[in-house]
Structure 1
Amino acid sequence: MIILGTTITGCSGDGEKRSYSTPNSLCGVAVNSSLLTPFLPPGEHVSTQRTFPVQGTEQCDVIVDKSKLTITAKKKWWPERGSVLDVAPASVRRKPYQIGEGKNILYAGTGAVGRTKDCVDPTHSDQRLFTIIQSFTPDRDDVGTMKKLIKAYTKEVEQSKACHPKRPQPSAS
């Protein structure tokens, strides 16, 4: 973890500070803390909480000062033929968004979706693992960093236990 004591400069201009270390992972998925920093508010403490809100979804919430939900990262199983637009939360689709990386990522300043490569559920081969990141901190909109964050997070998920690589199908003889 990197200790930050950086002064936050923003619309308020009040010089509030972060007294906490920026996380270097989202509930076990490594991310560069500099990719999270632009989306985090001032405060004293930061924590992460891992939940499973619905079947097929794992969620990691980043919480500042025990009550401010600032970032949510999800790993979500979705039908194989689904697109990043299908999976994107309405709050992300309402913003001007871009689709890139061969239609495998959708990103806006406050959220993004990634479609993993070759991550399928062995018990439901018609599903693929998607990643979702949302920022809920007011006045923290950064399209370039969000794009880097979803790419990095998705890549780490692809290399984790959550990703079950597709097995080659036996050839017909």
Structure 2
Amino acid sequence: MKSRENRPYAGYRRLTVGLGVLSFVLLISACSEPTQQYETPKALCGVEVPTDVLDPLLPEGEVVSERSEAASGVKRCYVSVDDKVALSTSIEWYEAETPIAEIASKTIGVDPGDKVTPDKRYSYSGKGGAGLIRCEDSSTIDKDVDGDLYATVRVGGDSVDASVALKMVQAYTTAVPAAGDCEVDL
């Protein structure tokens, strides 16, 4: 039988263990809270992209911003989180029938050996990819242009799952015509 002299220490021990467990639970819950304090953009420089497709490609942070540049038939968009480029896209003209692997080879961080979809419209990897843009309204394209319009997506920072990058390349590529970017003078 236990003596009564040890009872105060048993209560103290339970209190100490209880406080330790509570501290651990609070620490774990604080660490697991997402630190993404910005709202995921609904468009990238005017090209609408579903937020559920874009969100997995953007890092945690406080502020998201975008900047676009257009020159010599190329339109670029840079999406930054806390002033660090997290994603970049481009819309640009290439000679007609240029293989998608060649387009990929000209995109920083994308490799000509990347995966290509069976229809050969998209090239992709964990760092991004390229896609052939299909403009429905050919009247918006100058008749003197003998080329194809391509979109590229490049993920900044660490690689992501290639299937996630492919979803982004497909979403961006198919959204370009609706944004009015099927024009010669980007």
Q: Under a length normalisation based on structure 1, what TM-score does the superposition of the two structures give?
A: 0.77
Between the aligned partners of 1:20 and 1:124, the Cα distance in structure 2 is 44
More strand, by proportion: 1
* 2:94 alignment partner AA: W
Distance 1:93 1:104 in 2: 15
Matches within 5 A, 1:37-56: 37-52=55-70, 54-56=71-73
The aligned residue for residue 153 of structure 1 is 172
Is 1:79 aligned with 2:79? no
Match of 1:112 in 2: 129
**Pairwise CA distance, 1:158:** 2.7
User: How far apart, CA to CA, are the structure 2 residues paired with 1:110 and 1:90?
Assistant: 9
For residues 132-173 of structure 1, give each alpha carbon's deviation from its aligned partner in whole angstroms, at most 9, with x where no partner exists: 0000122x4121111111111111113332115xxxxxxxxx
Deviation at 1:101, TM superposition (A): 4.8
2:150 to 112, 130, 140: 130
Aligned length: 149
* 2:52 counterpart letter in structure 1: S
Contact map agreement 2:58 2:86 (CA 8 A) in 1: yes
Instruction: Tell me the residue number matched to 1:57.
Output: 74
Once structures 1 and 2 are overlaid, which stretch shifts more, 152-161 or 20-29?
152-161
Q: Contact (CA 8 Å) 1:114, 1:151: kept in 2 or not?
A: yes
Q: Tell whether the 8 Å contact from 1:84 to 1:113 is kept in structure 2 after alignment.
A: yes
1:124: how far off?
3.9
Distance 1:118 1:80, change over 3 A: farther
Give 5+ residue unaligned stretches, structure 2. 1-30
Change (3 A) 1:42 1:100: same
- How large is the Cα RMSD of the aligned pairs? 2.3
Write the distance in 2 (CA, Å) between the matches of 1:70 and 1:124: 36
Computing the radius of gyration over CA atoms, which structure comes out larger, 1 or 2? Answer: 2
1:31 to 5, 26, 49: 49
2:26 aligns with none
Contact kept? 1:83, 1:115, Cα under 8 Å? no
SS in 2 for 1:71: strand
Structure with more helix by fraction: 2
What are the Cα deviations for residues 91-143 of structure 1, in whole angstroms up to 9, with x where unaligned? 2107x6211151110011111100112477415421211000000122x4121
- The one-letter code of the counterpart of 1:103 is K
Structure 1 residue 90: Cα displacement: 4.7
